[in-house]
Structure 1
Amino acid sequence: MIRKLSGADHDVVFSFLKQEPSLNLFIIGDIEAFGYEQEFQELWGDFDENGRLRGVLLRFYDSYIPYAPGDLDIEGFAEVMRNTSHPVRLSGKTELVAKFEPLLLLGKKRVTYFCECNEITFPEEQSRYEIKRATIDDVDRILELRRRITEFSVPPSSRDMLVKSLETNTGRVYYIEEDGRMVSSVATTAENTLSAMVVGVCTDPNRRHKGYASEIMKRVIQDYVRIGKTLCLFYDNPNAGRIYKRLGFHDIGMWTMYG
């Protein structure tokens, strides 16, 4: 049986999601930040015949994330996601979301590695560069940097989501600037009591090969690990993967995004 979840389900839901806390950091973070009664966020649960929770589906704006460690009602969750007039923006564990492919109109598919870091493995030395932490006043500068990078997609909702992330302390942005212009940044999102996701690792194409992003990543790892939180990230570029692993990340699975 599938039904909407509410605050009354919280303890059961959290116990369920903590089976794989890193893989569920988006769902955990959004619940902690926004709860169950928001216009932009909804959650559904799939319960077996004995009333035990076996699957969770999150809608955050126009994106969906399902989670289940085993069997669940794939068709039921697909029906929930069909209530849209455009391709579904879906993401999750690769082996789970692949089951939805025959049932939904999905956007472009991207498969990535999912990795995590929960210890500082590099020598802790003073950075060669001044690394700053962004505020809401820096949002437009962050987006302007991302637009200069061809690999980045900056959809219309980016500004609102970044502002909300900074306002609610569910994300951070660290950056380096040259002559007052932002040239490299690393962001986190979905920060919760257990973990956070690294996103938006970028450097101006004309300012690369100076080690900017690696230096910022070290600062991010230090700040989070020191307060007992795990950092997670996606990568699909083997060269990037090698850099992250030198900084202490290790693979824990595969993650697929459609959209």
Structure 2
Amino acid sequence: MKSVRRLTNRDLSRVFSYIKNEPEANLFIQGDLELYGLESPNVTLYAFQDPWDCILLKYYSNFVLYSTNLTFNAKLVASFLEKQEKIEVLSAKESLLERMKPFYPHVKTQGTYLCRCNKTSFNPIEGKTLPIKQLCKDDARDIVTLYQHIEEFAKPYLEHTEEKLVQTANNYEKGGVGFGLYMDDKLICTAYNTATTTTGAMIVG
């Protein structure tokens, strides 16, 4: 497909320039590129047309779409995705996903919300709590098991357990930081950073 080009490390500066005006929407793209670059087996990035109409990041079987053009060529993207062996999730801003929905009429769209925090320090809250443990890659199975029991997130963790175990362990091996609460040797709560970049990070739990 001549209108789609796989990008390389030589394109990184152009990519960062393309996504810089919406850092929150592009945390995953920026974070993966800073961590892995574009010559990793885990991450690939494609640009559609030139000048770029949109870009599409592939991380394992997850895809993240971004465009500065609200009328980007969704049909071209859908045609490209049809050729992929496996698609677990396609993520993007709602305005971009709306243009993709006609090509996936039977796929459920799940919305999520972002809020931005500009504080860099916090005061600890005094009170009784369970012991807080810093998590590591060896806790990957406990983390995946926890998500399998949360209705909102369970499906991919149940359907792709082994892949999620690898991704979770890899996140901690690559410098991810997470904390958890255990009760009776069972992880019941977690908070960790993901999509960490030189300018920010996403905190999820």
What TM-score do you get using the length of structure 1 for normalisation? 0.66
Structure 2 gap segments, 5+ residues each: none
| 1:204-230 CA-partner distances (Å, limit 9, x unpaired) | xxxxxxxxxxxxxxxxxxxxxxxxxxx
Query: Number of aligned pairs?
Result: 196
What TM-score do you get using the length of structure 2 for normalisation? 0.82
CA distance in structure 1 between the aligned counterparts of 2:58 and 2:197, rounded to whole angstroms: 17
- Root mean square deviation, CA, Å: 2.5
Answer whether contact 1:166 1:172 (CA < 8 A) is retained: yes
More strand by share: 1
1:1-259, aligned counterparts within 5 Å? 1-48=3-50, 52-70=51-69, 71-84=71-84, 89-104=89-104, 107-119=107-119, 123-126=123-126, 128-129=128-129, 130-153=131-154, 154=157, 155-156=160-161, 157-169=163-175, 171-199=176-204, 201=205
CA distance in structure 2 between the aligned counterparts of 1:95 and 1:2, rounded to whole angstroms: 22
Q: How has the CA–CA distance of structure 1 residues 85 and 45 changed in structure 2, closer, same or farther, with 3 Å as cutoff?
A: closer
Name the counterpart of 1:218.
Answer: none
CA distance in structure 2 between the aligned counterparts of 1:110 and 1:3, rounded to whole angstroms: 29
CA distance in structure 2 between the aligned counterparts of 1:6 and 1:144, rounded to whole angstroms: 36
CA distance in structure 2 between the aligned counterparts of 1:7 and 1:152, rounded to whole angstroms: 33
Answer whether contact 2:62 2:87 (CA < 8 A) is retained: no
Report the CA distance between 1:141 and its aligned residue. 2.3
Q: How has the CA–CA distance of structure 1 residues 39 and 67 changed in structure 2, closer, same or farther, with 3 Å as cutoff?
A: same
CA distance in structure 2 between the aligned counterparts of 1:106 and 1:89, rounded to whole angstroms: 14
Answer whether contact 1:81 1:88 (CA < 8 A) is retained: no
Structure 1 gap segments, 5+ residues each: 202-259
| 1:133-189 CA-partner distances (Å, limit 9, x unpaired) | 1112222222333334444412322101101101111x3221122354433211222
Percent identity between the aligned chains?
Answer: 28
Answer whether contact 1:88 1:106 (CA < 8 A) is retained: no
Specify which structure has the bigger relative contact order, considering alpha-carbon pairs within 8 angstroms and separated by 6 or more residues: 1
Q: How has the CA–CA distance of structure 1 residues 74 and 188 changed in structure 2, closer, same or farther, with 3 Å as cutoff?
A: same
Answer whether contact 1:44 1:57 (CA < 8 A) is retained: yes
Q: How has the CA–CA distance of structure 1 residues 65 and 148 changed in structure 2, closer, same or farther, with 3 Å as cutoff?
A: closer
